[in-house]
Structures are given as structure tokens and as C-alpha cells.
């Protein structure tokens, strides 16, 4: 997600904060691609924000075991895609930013399927600055 701006940092602070990351999760039962994020960030205590920000770097994001913790902290999700009949992610680290290649297979209401490919990366280097 983008580097959020405020009065102190009108172009963002360059750090990865917890409320600037999201978790995309494929649910094969519902055939949905879901986005989990801290939509209620303004209600979090300062202590909770500081704790979450301390782990928001790439070590947190690159550890699959932390997915359940993230969904517990941010239980509300937004469905970003339906009729997803399959999804594969492949992580590569050719430079200082890990790349994630993805393949998503979709099916329309008539049963026609299509496959989509792409690559995403972090907006900054993998060393968290917070």
C-alpha cells in the first residue's frame, strides 16, 4: 500500500507502518481473494500502534506464520475478487526488494475460465526503518 501522508510528513515518512500493509488471502472454499488491513487504525491505542509498527517491517511480512496473527489483529476483510478458482504465489528476491509473482485463475458465470499473471513488490527496500 502507499506511504500515508499527514501534516508532519506531507509526502510520507518512508517507513513501513502496520496500517500501510495489507494481507491478501485466497479462500478456496468461497473462491474469494480477500484483503485484510487495519481499517480501524484510528481506534488503536498509541501503545498498540507502536507495538504493531515495530513488527511491520519485511521480517513480519515475509513470515507466513504471522498470517493468522495479522488476521486476528485485522479481522475485517474486503473481498477484492470473486470466482477465483485457483491462485499461486511465488516469491523471488533478485535485488533488495522481494518480488512476488502471481497466477490467478478466474471463472465467469458461464463457466469460462481465464488466467492472469503479474508481479508485485514492496515500495521500499526490505530493511524496515522503524
Q: What is the pLDDT of residues 56-107, one digit of tens each?
A: 765 556 666 778 888 888 888 999 999 998 888 777 766 666 677 888 898 8
Q: How, if at all, do strands 113-121 and 99-107 pair?
A: antiparallel
- pTM (whole model) above 0.75: no
Residue written as cell 510520507?
12
- Asked whether residue 67 is assigned to any structural domain, the reply reads yes
- Asked whether residue 128 is assigned to any structural domain, the reply reads no
- Asked whether residue 11 is assigned to any structural domain, the reply reads no
Structure-model confidence comparison of residues 110 and 15, the more confident one: 110
pLDDT of 5 over the 90 cut:
no
- Asked whether residue 50 is assigned to any structural domain, the reply reads yes
- Asked whether residue 6 is assigned to any structural domain, the reply reads no
- Asked whether residue 111 is assigned to any structural domain, the reply reads yes
- Asked whether residue 76 is assigned to any structural domain, the reply reads yes
Residue 29, domain extent: 18-121
Q: What are the CA-CA distances from residue 50 to residues 19, 29, 39, 55, 124 (Å)?
A: 11, 35, 16, 9, 20
- Asked whether residue 79 is assigned to any structural domain, the reply reads yes
- Count of structural domains, the chain: 1
* Nine-digit cell string for 2: 502507499
Amino acid at each position: 500500500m502507499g506511504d500515508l501522508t499527514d501534516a508532519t510528513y506531507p509526502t510520507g515518512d518512508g517507513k513501513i507502518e502496520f496500517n500501510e500493509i495489507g494481507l491478501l488471502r485466497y479462500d478456496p472454499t468461497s473462491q474469494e481473494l480477500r484483503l485484510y488491513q487495519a481499517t480501524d487504525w484510528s481506534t488503536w491505542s498509541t501503545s498498540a500502534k507502536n507495538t504493531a509498527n515495530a513488527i511491520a517491517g519485511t521480517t513480519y511480512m515475509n513470515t507466513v506464520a504471522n498470517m493468522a496473527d495479522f488476521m486476528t489483529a485485522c479481522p475485517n476483510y474486503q473481498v477484492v475478487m470473486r470466482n477465483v478458482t485457483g491462485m499461486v504465489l511465488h516469491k523471488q528476491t533478485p535485488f533488495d526488494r522481494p518480488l512476488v509473482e502471481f497466477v490467478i485463475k478466474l471463472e465467469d458465470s458461464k463457466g469460462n475460465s481465464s488466467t492472469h499473471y503479474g508481479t508485485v513488490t514492496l515500495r521500499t527496500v526490505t530493511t524496515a526503518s522503524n
